[in-house]
Structure 1
Amino acid sequence: MGGAVQVAGDGIQAALKMGWQAIGGDEFLGSTLGSNWSPYNGEGHDGQGRRTSDAISVENGNLVIRGDSQGNTGGMAWGTPQKYGKWEMRAQFPKGDKQYHPVLLLWPSEVSWPEGGEIDFAETTSASDDVSFFLHYGSSNSQKDAKKQIDITQWHNYAVEWTPDAIVGYIDGVEWFRSEDPNTFPPGPMHATIQLDYFPDGGSPEPSEMRVAWMRQYQ
């Protein structure tokens, strides 16, 4: 995680290419987390490690979530859910430990998981050279997925579009995932979350981090 911090810029956005109508979001300006976010405090993913608001900061126009050598990490939920819509985030995942998984996702707001579904529109490990899309659905937590080779240490725009007809994923404005099967669609409203999840795999993890320049929500 050494070296100079890259400037995020804005990059190629799915929202601009397709004319999405903005309804909210966070540009992560200033030095504190916006009030519409709810940081997690408690057990980590699948009961592993610990999620703490101390792992979350806003620095130089970026959200930063850090994971330490003890499995302490962070995550947070956006307080504006909707059924159908679009979300786009500009994120960078600096090289780190494979036991830490940065993930940008939509989580159910009204229907409990797994029945409520889950849309992981960018998930990777901090030591990977690819990113995955996971669409979780149904009471048995079935999945539809895709994987794309990409330099995750660079800034990219990750977006998801959810309509009554399809769920579509984009990277830098280019489609890379699509499901038109209504059986895979969430049954109720979803909200955006940003997480650095800990998946222990033997030994203490190396400190790792993820950065998000902005999160934008569209109608």
Structure 2
Amino acid sequence: PTAASSTRSKTTSEKSTRTLRVASERRKNNRRQRRPPRKRTVSGLRTHLNRAALRRRPRRAPRLSSMGEVVVVPRNFRLLEELENFDKARGDMTISCGLKDPSDIFLTTWQASIIGPPGTRFDNNIYGLEVVCGADYPRVPPEVYFQTRVNLRGVDPRSGRVDLGALRANWRYDCTIATALGYVRQEMSKPASRNLPQPPEGETFPPRS
């Protein structure tokens, strides 16, 4: 009887241990599921990109230095530098831009705004734009789309896409997103554009699919 009692006690203890272990694993899994996704800061993106660079060589894009020599800068690091400049409000204060999705580690889609030039039909208006930097940026310029409906040379009246070539944008390796948006604002200030009739306030282009 004593041996049987000892066996039953040992079996009960093992079952209790297994039950506690299963309950502990369930609590851990529930905590993982409830944990919200982390928003990546600029410094967090830089850390992630540095680690990725150690694992594989990123695609590189050349950039011209002030001395005229070509400096090779990885696309993502170049865009990260531009993001920091926008965050710290460096440059033209009438243009702003940031990542559309802060967790986008590829730094592809950006949300921008332009304040209309004074003394024009665009004055006192803030225009929303979407900027898409493809895999070949900055070898090729970004795609720029107006979200706010506008009547302007070089802007497709159906989609809002901006044809930077029609704006005579001289795109080079050292140009930036701010450069592209600056070309758009310059077009707004030109005599041929200053008095163009504009759509009613609040109208927008169809969302991009």
TM-score bucket of the superposed structures, by smaller chain: 0.3 to 0.5
Task: Please identify which structure carries the higher helix content.
Answer: 2
Task: Please identify which structure carries the higher strand content.
Answer: 1
TM-score, with length taken from structure 1: 0.31
TM-score, with length taken from structure 2: 0.32
Q: Higher relative contact order at CA 8 Å, sep ≥6: structure 1 or structure 2?
A: 1
Instruction: State which structure, 1 or 2, has the greater radius of gyration over its C-alpha atoms.
Output: 2
